[in-house]
Structure 1
Amino acid sequence: MAQLDLDRTDYRILREIQANGRISMVELSRRVNLTKTPCAERVKRLEKEGVIKGYFAALEPAAVDAGHIVIVQVQLSSTTAADLDEFNSAVRQVPEIQSCMMMAGGFDYSLKVRTRDIASYRELLGNVISRLPHVLQTHTYVVMEVVKDEVVLSMPDRP
C-alpha cells in the first residue's frame, strides 16, 4: 500500500474510531470538530483507500474456547516464490492461526495460534500445521501469560 497523505484531522478520526469502532458519526464529528457530512466523507475515503480495513468486536478468548496460545516457528523445505505463496494461501485457511509473519533469521515464519487447550493444539499441529505446504520443521513455544497484546496502533501526531 502506498503512503497516503493523511492530515491531522484524518489522524484524529483514526484515533477515535480505533478507540471505539461503534462511535456514531454525530459523536465522531463532534470529537474531531467537523460537521457530520465532511466527517462521513473522510471516513468513507479512509475505508476506500484501505486505511480503515474493517471493524470488529474485541472478544474474551477464553469465553470462546481460544484461551490457549502458542507461538510456532516454522521452517520450510523450500522458499521459492511459488512455495511461499502456496504456504501463505494455506495458512490463511486455518482459523486457529491468528497471525503469520515471515521472518528473517533461523526460521521462515512465526505463527500465533489460539486453541482451547494443549490437547486441541496438539491435534492441530499433527493434522494441520505440520501438513501445510513445504513445512520441514516446527518449534512450539507455549505462552504462559499474556502481558500485552494490543491491536490498537500507535500513531504519531501529524501536522
Structure 2
Amino acid sequence: MSKLDRIDSKIIAVLQSDGRITLQELADKVGLSPTPCARRLRMMEDEGIIKGYAAVIDQAKIGLPVSAFASIKLERQREEYLDRFAQTVSKWPEVVDCYLMTGQYDYLMRVVVADLAAYEAFLKTKLTRLEGVASIETSFALGQTKRSEVLPLP
C-alpha cells in the first residue's frame, strides 16, 4: 500500500480515537461493509502502518508520576556507538521514548519513574554506566499540557 486513500485515512482516524471499536462499528463509520473493511485493516497491519493496539494508561495513577527528559551526548557519533546506545536503551523499561536528534545532543529520552530516588538509581546503575556517554542533562516535567497518540492525518 503505497498511498492511503480517503477510506484508509478514515479507518486510521477512527482507530486513533477508539482502538477498541468493533469491526462492524468501524465499517459503519467509514462507509464499508465488514469484509472489505477487515481486508483494508489487515493490509495496513501487514504493511506496518498500524503497528499495534494499546491502552493509554495514566502514569501517575499507577505510581509513576515522574517524567524526566534526558538529553544525551555521546563521545563519538559513529554508527556503531549510535547503534549500541539505541540497542541498550531499548531494553530499559523506564525509557518510554527515545529519539536520535540533530543539534547539541545526540539523543533525547523520556524516562518514567516513581520518584527522584528512582531516577537517581536509573542514572547511576544504567545510564552513566553505558560506554560512550559523554554527557547527560536532565529536565523534569512539572506537568503535562498535552499528550496524544493521534497523528494529524492529511
Report the TM range for the smaller structure's normalisation: over 0.9
Sequence identity percentage: 34
The code of the aligned residue for 1:88 comes to A
Partner of 1:115: 113
Give the ranges of 4+ consecutive aligned residues of structure 1 lying more than 2 Å apart after TM superposition.
none
- 1:17-70 CA distance string (max 9 Å, x none): 111111000000000000010000000000001000000000110122221011
The code of the aligned residue for 1:132 comes to L
- 1:101-148 CA distance string (max 9 Å, x none): 111111111111110011111110111111223111100101111111
Partner of 2:6: 8
Judge conservation of contact 1:46–1:52 (CA < 8 Å) in 2: yes
C-alpha separation between the residues in 2 aligned to 1:47 and 1:10? 12
TM-score w.r.t. the length of structure 1 is 0.94
Judge conservation of contact 2:96–2:111 (CA < 8 Å) in 1: yes
C-alpha separation between the residues in 2 aligned to 1:103 and 1:28? 37
> Which is further off, 59-68 or 12-21?
59-68
Question: Does 1:129 find its partner at 2:124?
Answer: no
Judge conservation of contact 1:90–1:133 (CA < 8 Å) in 2: no
Partner of 1:101: 99
Q: CA deviation at 1:90?
A: 0.2
Partner of 2:57: 59
C-alpha separation between the residues in 1 aligned to 2:17 and 2:131? 38
TM-score w.r.t. the length of structure 2 is 0.97
C-alpha separation between the residues in 2 aligned to 1:133 and 1:84? 11
1:19 pairs, out of 3, 17, 20, with 17
- 1:1-32 CA distance string (max 9 Å, x none): xx821100000000011111110000000000
Q: CA RMSD in A?
A: 1.1
Structure 2 unaligned blocks of 5 or more? none
